């Protein structure tokens, strides 16, 4: 970049003077216009309450409510002109209201401040985001349950350290993500309970001398009760921090699932295949199928964790009550809402889309002497060995198999007997991967019967909790 251009970049803006700089740093309309619905709903509820309490004339309240409805229609039709000079969504709407209904518009802001107004708008927006997330997690869980049911018997390697550990069922693996997603859902519900308080009426910071009815606006806006401390109400947006925390955890879960899809869809693994809908080709290498969607889901925590850390950092050390710093919360939260919604839609779509290569999974499940623990358990059960000793004998069996280049189930009986004379032909019944998973019937274990039980447990729970 030439010296001249960079001067223009910096100098050009400063040249237009302090007013322009102030407008640039202060205006939030470019992003907070997203709150228009909440802002209008809040203003309608406030105006109706002011009218009902006799704080403003009933006719003025009606004019205001009417005007606000017109503004909402204008914004939805795309005919509303947003102005940066008017700073934010609150003032843009109020100004337009004055144009539409005249002086009565000036009565709307009685017993209210932009501080409780923004606390309300943002809270309602985050409430809707939690509700949408909860619903979308329900769809994600439903997709996982269908896969789990279809693959209750599909045997695959279970990994620790990404090394083959013990055979598990793919259905059980899907159910692991069901558990995570269900906890994410319950975190949404927990947060919604704490969020269920109406901030409107805290006014600038100290409440108001007007005889407002905060219970009435609470009911009109779908809150159970008003907030109890006006200073806290305009200071703390911790519902936003909670959303970002929940979002970060959820995105982390999705990222792990996505990473498995990336690994499993490589030719080396070949466990799953995504259709063209969720893969892309390479512009130069015709043979490639790239799991782009999975990679982008894997990447989303970068933004979402970033938003969480960013907002925690903005809020730390702020003295009570409102400071303009808090305006910086919105872009982070909006971006996290959108990123997570997209990641969740993509994860749900991929789970429904992917086809499982049952044979490749089964083959890999037998690699790496994955049933060694079953042999040790057999020695404990059938020969009465203490587990530690059984572990030792099994270790010798593994090294014999390894040096002859065969699997445990291929070792001849006399070889096994030479390790412990109490071993008999029944040992072959535990060395196969199917027998291994079938035997793991302990509660929470991987057996196909357990998987089917868990699928119906979760289906029932989803139905009773509502999707």
- 5-34: contacts with ligand ARG (CB under 6 A): 28, 32
Cα separations in angstroms, 235 against 99, 203, 204, 332, 397: 32, 12, 10, 18, 66
326 counts as binding ligand ARG under rule CB under 6 A: yes
Assess whether 109 carries a catalytic annotation: no
Can you give 297-340 as a three-state secondary structure string? HHHCHHHHHHHHHHHHHHHCCCCCCCCHHHHHHHHHHHHHHHHH
| Closer CB to ligand ARG, 115 or 357, in the complex | 115
Q: Residue 230, interface with ligand ARG (CB under 6 A)?
A: no
The least CB distance from residue 313 to ligand ARG, in Å, is 17
Q: Which stretch binds ligand ARG (CB under 6 A): 43-51, 321-329, 422-430, 433-441?
A: 321-329
Q: Which is nearer to ligand ARG, 176 or 314 (CB)?
A: 314
Q: Which of 161, 283, 403, 442 is catalytic?
A: 161
* β-pairing verdict for 225-226 and 197-198: parallel
Residue 116 binding ligand ARG, by CB under 6 A: no
Nearer to ligand ARG, 37 or 452 (CB): 37
Contacts with ligand ARG: how many residues (CB under 6 A)? 10
For ligand ARG, give the closer residue by CB, 147 or 237: 237
Of 240, 283, 233, 208, whose CA–CA distance to 49 is shortest?
A: 208
- Residue identified by tokens 């027998």 is 435
Catalytic annotation present for 282: yes
CB 135 within 8 A of CB 467: yes
Instruction: Give me the 64-103 binding string for ligand ARG, x by CB under 6 A, dash otherwise.
Output: ------------------------x---------------
CA distance 377 to 166: 13
| Rounded Cα gap, residues 61 and 318, in angstroms | 37
Give whichever of 33 and 215 is closer to ligand ARG, judged by the CB atom: 33
**3-state class (DSSP) for residue 453:** helix
Rounded CA separation 106/100 (Å): 12
Bridge partners (DSSP) of residue 44 are: none
Binding span for ligand ARG by CB under 6 A among 52-60, 318-326, 332-340, 342-350: 318-326
Query: Is residue 315 a contact residue for ligand ARG (CB under 6 A)?
Result: no
Give CA–CA dist 370/374, Å, rounded: 9
- Residue ranges binding ligand ARG (CB under 6 A): 28, 32, 88, 114-115, 118, 322, 324, 326-327
Q: Catalytic residues, which ones?
A: 161, 282
């Amino acid at each position: 970049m030439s010296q001249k251009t960079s001067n223009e970049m910096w100098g050009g803006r400063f040249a237009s003077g302090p007013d322009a700089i102030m407008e640039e740093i202060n205006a939030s309309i470019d992003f907070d216009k997203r709150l228009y619905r909440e802002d209008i709903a809040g203003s309608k509820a406030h105006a109706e309450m002011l009218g009902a309490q006799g704080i403003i004339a009933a006719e003025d309240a009606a004019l205001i409510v009417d005007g606000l409805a017109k503004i909402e229609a204008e914004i939805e039709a795309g005919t509303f002109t947003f102005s940066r000079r008017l700073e934010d969504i609150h003032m843009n709407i109020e100004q337009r209201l004055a144009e539409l209904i005249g002086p009565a518009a000036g009565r709307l802001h009685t017993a209210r401040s932009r501080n409780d107004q923004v606390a309300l708008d943002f809270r309602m927006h985050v409430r809707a985001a939690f509700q949408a997330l909860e619903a979308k997690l329900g769809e994600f869980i439903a997709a996982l349950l269908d896969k789990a049911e279809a693959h209750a018997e599909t045997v695959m390697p279970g990994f620790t350290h990404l090394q083959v550990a013990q055979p598990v069922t793919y259905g059980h693996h899907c159910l692991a993500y069901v558990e995570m997603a269900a906890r994410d859902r319950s975190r949404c519900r927990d947060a919604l309970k704490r969020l269920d308080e109406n901030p409107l009426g805290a006014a600038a910071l100290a409440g108001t001398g007007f005889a407002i009815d905060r219970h009435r606006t609470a009911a009109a806006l779908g809150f159970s009760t008003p907030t109890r401390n006006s200073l806290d109400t305009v200071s703390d947006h911790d519902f936003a921090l909670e959303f970002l925390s929940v979002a970060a955890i959820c995105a982390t879960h999705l990222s792990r699932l996505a990473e498995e899809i990336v690994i499993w869809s490589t030719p080396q693994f070949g466990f799953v295949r995504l259709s063209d809908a969720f893969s892309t080709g390479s512009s130069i290498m015709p043979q490639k199928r790239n799991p782009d969607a999975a990679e982008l889901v894997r990447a989303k925590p970068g933004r979402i964790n970033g938003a969480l850390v960013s907002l925690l950092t903005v809020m730390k050390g702020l003295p009570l009550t409102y400071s303009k710093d808090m305006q910086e919360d919105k872009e982070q939260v909006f971006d996290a809402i959108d990123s997570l919604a997209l990641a969740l839609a993509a994860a749900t779509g991929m789970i429904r889309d992917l086809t499982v290569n049952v044979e490749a999974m089964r083959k890999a499940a037998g690699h790496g002497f994955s049933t060694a623990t079953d042999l040790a358990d057999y020695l404990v059960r059938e020969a009465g060995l203490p587990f530690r000793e059984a572990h030792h004998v099994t270790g010798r069996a593994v090294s014999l198999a390894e040096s002859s280049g065969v699997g445990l189930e291929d070792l001849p009986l006399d070889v096994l007997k030479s390790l412990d004379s109490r071993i008999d032909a029944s040992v072959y019944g535990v060395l196969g991967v199917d027998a291994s998973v079938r035997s793991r019937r302990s509660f929470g274990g991987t057996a196909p019967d357990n998987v089917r039980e868990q699928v119906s447990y979760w289906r029932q729970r989803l139905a009773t909790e509502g999707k």
